[in-house]
Amino acid sequence: MTRDYGAELDALRTQMAAIESMVRALAGKDEIPAVVPGADRSDNELVVQGGGTDSCAIYVSGYYRTGNHTVRLEPQEKGSAELLDLNRAKAAKVLSALGHKQRLDLLLEVWNEPLTGTELVERLNMGTTGQLYHHLKALTGADLLKQEERGGRYTIPAHRRFPVLQLMSAVSDLIDTSDYIDMTEARNEAGNYLGEGTKEGYDPHQLLWAVVSNTVQEHRAGYCTEMGIYLHDDGGATVADNGRGIPIRLLPQTGQPSVQSVMTKLDQFNDPMKSFFAPGADKGMSIAVVNALSRSLSVEIRRDGGIYRQDYRFGIPQTGLMTVGVSNETGTSITFKPEPELFAGSFDKGKIEEQVQQLREACPGLRIHIQ
């Protein structure tokens, strides 16, 4: 058996750093020992011992392999005061250099191999070299890229590789929130989706029609023959159908179930030709928009022999995709409650029946009932 002595040494150093931190805390009674990778903790909580001002420390250790070589980062500690007292102008320069998708594309393209400007233009389909050099200037100015010689290939400086990896690691912890930021923006710009409202608020029926339109699309695709609309005493509603059921498979890119992408990505599944448009609205309403504008929403899916459920609040998942039963049927049920701060009044059964009658005439093969 081959032992990785470097990894063992890193682990030992990390453990020693943890012990040292705890000793300092016990001696001073005014520090907060940070959670250290490898320490015997089952969760990521901070252990508070004594009072004093807030403080924390980040412990960093790592390695990456390149070819036949392994490069290791010596374990190091950075305190919160040091991290939060960075030169803000320089920090902003580095962050702005990466705050553009094409710049990030450039950086990641040269991660594995040095490339010339011409090769980068071809790989990224940038069209013009002028566009390329505009972004390269920002990256080289932040010392994230360097050119081997004039007209030569671009590479990432060796001393920048670990910091770039650390930055990407931090981004990976934040990236899961990006969909939910979009959800907040959707609520702040609700008028783009809902059209004109009154002083009291927007019409909650617009959310219902958007959910119903998904079932109508499933029917027109040949997979749904029945839809039920259920109105609840708490101001919510359920739309249920016997279509195929929203897909539940895990997406390889994110590891999340497909249904979660459908319910949280505002634009990905928003086909302008199929989306519901409220009168006077600028943007179509996908099911993700309904999710963002609802105080609570639950989706239940019947397919692949099982029944699956996921709950949301203001568009943010509150649970993973749970298996809650077995069934040979297929279909989707969506239960939602409009956000009362946005919407005025409650659902009107008479108004719904009027709209449903029009749907029955337009889709004679779709049985619709209201309860």
Each residue's pLDDT tens digit, 178-227: 667 888 889 999 999 998 888 889 999 999 999 999 999 999 999 999 99
Examine the domain organization and report whether 206 and 324 are in the same domain. Answer: yes
Residue in this structure with the two tokens 């919407």, named with its chain if needed: 343
Instruction: Report DSSP letters for 131-190, one per residue.
Output: HHHHHHHHHHHTTS-EESSTTS-EE--HHHHHHHHHHHHHHHHHGGGHHHHHHHHHHHTH
Total domains, the chain: 3
Is the domain of 205 the same as that of 332?
yes
- pLDDT tens figures, 277-291: 888 888 889 999 999
**Residue 255: its pLDDT value, please?**
78
Backbone angles phi, psi at 238, to 5 degrees: -125, 135
**Among 11-15, 255-259, 300-304, which is the least confidently predicted range?**
11-15
Does residue 165 sit within a domain? no
CA distance 173 to 239: 35
Position 324 confidence tier, pLDDT thresholds 50, 70, 90? very high
DSSP string, 11-52: HHHHHHHHHHHHHHHHHHS---PPP-TTSS-SS------S-S
Q: Determine the pLDDT at residue 348.
A: 95
Same domain as 97, residue 79: no
Residue 43 scores a pLDDT above 70 = no
264 and 357, same domain (yes or no): yes
Gap between the Cα atoms of 212 and 218, Å rounded: 10
Question: Same domain for 204 and 318?
Answer: yes
Residues 140 and 184 in one domain: no
User: Between the CA of residue 152 and those of 66, 109, 137, what are the distances in Å?
Assistant: 22, 16, 15
Nearest to 106 by CA among 151, 157, 142, 145: 145
CA atoms within 13 A of residue 39's CA, in its CB half-sphere = 19
**Residue numbers of the domain that contains 34:** 5-84
Q: Would 167 be classed as within a structural domain?
A: no
Greatest C-alpha distance within the chain? 79
Where does a domain end: 84, 116, 138?
Answer: 84
Does the predicted model carry a pTM greater than 0.75? no
Q: What is the CATH number of the domain that holds 142?
A: 1.10.10.10
Please give the Cα distance from 236 to 210 (Å, whole number): 14
Do both 47 and 132 map to the same domain?
no
Judge whether 171 lies within some domain: no
- Strand pairing report for 57-66 and 331-338: unpaired
- Contact between 216 and 209 (Cβ < 8 Å): no
Can you give the length of the chain in residues? Answer: 371
Amino acid letter, residue 49: Q
Please give the Cα distance from 230 to 67 (Å, whole number). Answer: 61
CATH number of the domain at 332, please. 3.30.565.10
Q: Do 95 and 243 reside in the same domain of the chain?
A: no
Contacts for 160 with CB less than 8 Å, ≥ 6 apart: 143, 144
Between 37 and 54, the more confident residue is: 54
Would you say residue 172 lies in a domain? no
Q: β-strands 294-303, 226-231: how paired?
A: unpaired
The pLDDT assigned to 256 comes to 85
**Residues 241 and 286 placed together within one structural domain of the fold:** yes
> Considering the domain boundaries, does residue 236 fall inside one?
yes
Last residue in a domain, options 84, 102, 121 = 84
Residue type, 155: T
Structure tokens at 33: 């020992």
Same domain, 267 and 357: yes
Query: Domain boundary residue among 37, 63, 84?
Result: 84
User: Within a domain: residue 173?
Assistant: no
CA 95/CA 98 separation, integer angstroms: 5
Report how far residue 164's alpha carbon sits from residue 62's, in angstroms, rounded to the nearest whole number.
13
Tens of pLDDT along 232-275? 999 999 999 999 999 999 887 777 899 999 999 887 655 655 66
Do 139 and 265 lie in a common domain?
A: no
What is the average pLDDT value for the chain, to the nearest integer?
Answer: 83
**Cβ–Cβ < 8 Å for 251, 261:** yes
Q: What is the pLDDT of residue 168?
A: 84
Q: How far is CA 356 from the centre of its chain?
A: 35
Distance separating alpha carbons of residues 10 and 73, to the nearest angstrom: 9
AA identity, residue 18: A
Is residue 169 one of the residues assigned to a domain?
no
The H helix count followed by the E strand count for the chain is 13, 12
In sequence order, what E strands does the chain have?
A: 57-66, 69-79, 146-147, 154-155, 226-231, 237-241, 294-303, 306-313, 316-317, 322-326, 331-338, 367-370
Are residues 336 and 271 both part of a single domain? Answer: yes
Domain assignment present for residue 166? The answer is no
- For the segment 117-169, what is each residue's pLDDT rounded down to a tens digit? 888 888 888 777 777 888 888 899 888 999 988 778 999 988 888 888 888 88
pLDDT given at position 18: 63
Assess whether pLDDT exceeds 90 at residue 347.
yes
